[in-house]
Amino acid sequence: MSHIIYPTTNLQKTETLMIERGDGIYVYDNTGKRYIEGLASLWCTGLGYNNRELVETAAEQMGKLPYSHMFGGKTHQVGIDLADKLASMVPVDNAKIFFGNSGSDANDTHIKMLRYYFNVIGKPEKYKIISRERAYHGVTMAAASLTGLPPNHAHFDLPFSALGILRTDAPHYYRNALPGETEEAFTDRIVGNLENLILQEGPETIAAFIAEPIYGAGGVIVAPEGYFAKVQAVLNKYDILFWADEVITGFGRTGNAFGSTTMGIENPQLMTLAKQLSSGYMPISASVITSEQYEAMVEPSAKVGVFGHGYTYSGHPVSCAVALKTLEIYERDRIFEHAAEVGTYMQDKLRSLLDHPLVGEVRGKGLVAAVELVADKKTGKAFDDGAVGAFAQEACQRYGLITRAVALSSLAFCPPMIITKEQVDEIFDIVKKVLDETLDFFHKSGLNQ
> Is 35 within a domain?
no
356 has a pLDDT exceeding 70: yes
Q: Are residues 317 and 401 in the same domain?
A: no
Question: What integer is the mean pLDDT of 404-428?
Answer: 97
Q: Which amino acid type is present at position 1?
A: M
The continuous run of DSSP H or E covering 132 comes out as strand 128-132
Residue environment code for 184-196, b if the CB has 16+ CB neighbours within 10 A, otherwise e: eebbeebbeebbe
Identify whether residues 356 and 312 lie together within a single domain.
Answer: no
Same domain (yes/no): 213, 98: yes
The whole-chain average pLDDT of the chain stands at 97
22 within a domain of the structure (yes/no) = no
- Tell the burial category of 229 from Cβ atoms under 10 Å away from its Cβ (0-12, 13-18, 19+): middle
C-beta separation of 68 from 434 below 8 A = no
Same domain, 139 and 254: yes
Number of structural domains (the chain) is 2
pLDDT in tens, 26-36: 999 999 999 99
Q: Are strands 96-100 and 285-289 parallel, antiparallel or unpaired?
A: antiparallel
Q: Are 319 and 389 found together in one domain?
A: no
* DSSP conformational letter for 383: P
CATH of the domain at 135: 3.40.640.10
What is the tens place of the pLDDT at every residue in 323-354?
999 999 999 999 999 999 999 999 999 999 99
Neighbours of 12 (CB within 10 A): 5
* One domain, residues 181 and 137: yes
Q: Give pLDDT tens digits for 54-108.
A: 999 999 999 999 999 999 999 999 999 999 999 999 999 899 999 999 999 999 9
Same domain, 147 and 287: yes
Select from 409, 408, 398 the least CA-distant residue to 433. Answer: 398
Other beta carbons within 10 Å of 65: 13
In a domain, 42, yes or no: no
Do 111 and 76 have their domain in common? yes
Question: Are 60 and 199 within one domain?
Answer: yes
Q: Are residues 107 and 120 in the same domain?
A: yes
**Domain C-terminal end among 309, 332, 355:** 332
Q: What pLDDT does residue 447 have? A: 64
> 96 — phi, psi (to 5°)?
-115, 145
Residues ≥6 apart with Cβ < 8 Å to 303: none
What's the CATH code of the domain at 387? 3.90.1150.10
Q: Which domain holds residue 433?
A: 334-444
Answer whether residue 7 is part of any domain: no
Closest CA to 218 of 170, 274, 273, 163: 170
* Last residue in a domain, options 310, 332, 354: 332
Domain boundary pick from 332, 366, 389: 332
- The answer to whether position 302 is within a domain reads yes
Residue type (1 letter), 82: L
Q: Is residue 47 part of a domain?
A: no
pLDDT tens-place string over residues 166-223: 999 999 999 999 999 999 999 999 999 999 999 999 999 999 999 999 999 999 999 9
Instruction: State how far the Cα of 288 lies from the Cα of 269, in Å rounded to an integer.
Output: 8
Whether 5 maps to a domain, the answer reads no
Q: Are residues 351 and 379 in the same domain?
A: yes
End-to-end CA distance of the chain: 39
Amino acid at 405: A
Q: Are residues 68 and 141 in the same domain?
A: yes
Interval 134-159: pLDDT, tens = 999 999 999 999 999 999 999 999 99
Judge whether 351 lies within some domain. yes
